[in-house]
Amino acid sequence: MKVLLSLIKKEFYHIIRDKRSLLILVGMPIVQVVLFGFAISNEIHEAPIAVVAPNKSQKVLRLLERIEVSSYFHIVRFLESGGQLDEVFKEGEIKLVLLIDKDFSRDLGQRKTAKLQVIADATDPNTATTLTGYIEAITNRFAREGFSPLPVGKQMPPLIDINVKMQYNPSLRSVFLFVPGIITVILLLISAMMISITLAREKEKGNMEILLVSPLNPVVIVLGKVLPYVILALVNGWSILLLGVWLFGVPIRGDLVLIFGEMLLFVLTALSLGLFISTKVQTQQAALMISLIGLMLPTIILSGFIFPIESMPLPLQFISHLIPAKWFLIILRAIMLKGATLHYVVKETIILGIICLVLLGLAVKNFKTRLE
């Protein structure tokens, strides 16, 4: 026990005295939270649009007013005709052009179908889809309730009245989605990447041999290497969680103890990966490359952290099942945002547990053969 403590102390000296690892441990989480929280965002806010309205009647102006006050759009230009469209899009500022038919008011007044054309710059398909969706919603509502030719009480009831509610995240803030993702990536970074690198370093510099010649039990040696990173990973995970709550108002609706337990399970899985990698490589460089390319990249792309798994081609969807981060992300989002109890995430937890056991088994087996 005393030996274990002195090994852990030594590991903390390594971390504190190495600027690179200190930067990864302290700088990375903060940068990620700020980057994903503030800069990278799927939300639309005051998107600049242009309007073609040959006939600026009162009804048209009221519609435009609706669009302007929505805070999703900002009308920056009025165009003479649709002919300028190409030119406007090429300039790049304007993402969407609204063409209002010259008979718009008349048709609406006569309860005929009023014509409106929406043209979006689809070089960025995601933004284009979102923008047109918002425009549609605003104009539909305008047509239904905002403009009514009949006096109150004699309105025709709409045939289907769709009432959309965005459950768990009513204002559709993407930071709610990103905070669990960042936690996942940071936990993996520290538990898998840092552990594989620090073990590879011990091997590369020949210290591992000395430790193995000593009377220390190999289990103690590994624990002494691994525990500091487990502690750091958990501290970091919770710091991001708190940052998310304080800075962005990310809700934690579920049980904190459950979150802690699931985090521990994921950290254990990640460190098994780190151990496994370290048994396969001889140098820190190799450990770093394998961790980055073989671990971080697939995790960020295939775990559902940024890109939805549902929209991936089938082979990639299949691969994503093998990525532990995917399951942890599902679990964490469910607990944090939906307030799910263990009952609801038991399937994902079991899958994660199985992956963990397999990886841990592989790591231990490889570690042993190396000692032989």
Q: 259 to each of 236, 328, 342, how far by Cα in Å?
A: 14, 10, 10
| Binding letters toward another protein, positions 259-298, x by CB under 8 A | ----------------------------------------
| Nearer to another protein among residue 205 and residue 253 (C-beta) | 205
Q: Cα separations (Å) of 24 from 15, 20, 61, 141, 291?
A: 10, 6, 53, 49, 14
Residue with the two structure tokens 């047509």:
143
Amino acid identity, residue 5?
L
Among 372, 185, 370, smallest CA distance to 275 is for: 370
Task: Identify how many contiguous H helices and E strands the chain contains and give both numbers.
Answer: 17, 4
The answer to whether residues 233 and 267 touch, using CB atoms and an 8 Å cutoff, is: yes
> Could you say whether residue 2 binds another protein (CB under 8 A)?
yes
Determine how many CB atoms are found less than 10 A away from the CB of residue 275: 24
Site string for another protein, 157-196 (x = CB under 8 A): ----------------------------------------
> Smaller CB distance to another protein: residue 210 or 357?
210
**Residue 50 forms beta bridges with which residues?**
77, 97
- For residue 7, the minimal CB distance to another protein (Å) is 8
Residue placing its CB nearer to another protein in the complex, 2 or 45: 2
* By CB under 8 A, residue 209 contacts another protein: yes
Give min distance, CB of 244 to another protein, in A: 34
- Using CB under 8 A, which of 61, 210, 235, 242 touches another protein? 210
Region binding another protein by CB under 8 A among candidate stretches 87-95, 98-106, 214-222, 361-369: 214-222
Q: Which of 212, 219, 293, 346 binds another protein (CB under 8 A)?
A: 212
Indicate which single residue of 92, 170, 206, 313 sits in contact with another protein (rule: CB under 8 A).
206
User: Which among 322, 296, 21 is positioned nearest to 182, based on CA atoms?
Assistant: 296
Contact predicate 247/37, CB 8 Å:
yes
Stretch that binds another protein, among 31-39, 186-194, 202-210, 329-337 (CB under 8 A): 202-210
Tokens of 93: 């500022």
Return the number of the residue (6 or 148) whose C-beta is nearest another protein.
Answer: 6
- Contact between 3 and another protein per CB under 8 A: yes
For position 205 contacting another protein by CB under 8 A, the verdict is yes
Q: Does 45 bind another protein (CB under 8 A)?
A: no
Rounded to an integer, what distance in angstroms lies between the CA atom of residue 197 and that of residue 193? 6
Q: Which is nearer to another protein, 6 or 117 (CB)?
A: 6
Report residue 155 as tokens.
């309105």
Contact 275, 226 (CB under 8 A): yes
Name the segment binding another protein (CB under 8 A); options: 1-9, 111-119, 182-190, 288-296.
1-9
Residue 101: half-sphere exposure toward Cβ, Cα within 13 Å: 12
Which residues contact another protein by CB under 8 A?
A: 2-3, 6-7, 10, 13-14, 17-18, 205-207, 209-216, 372
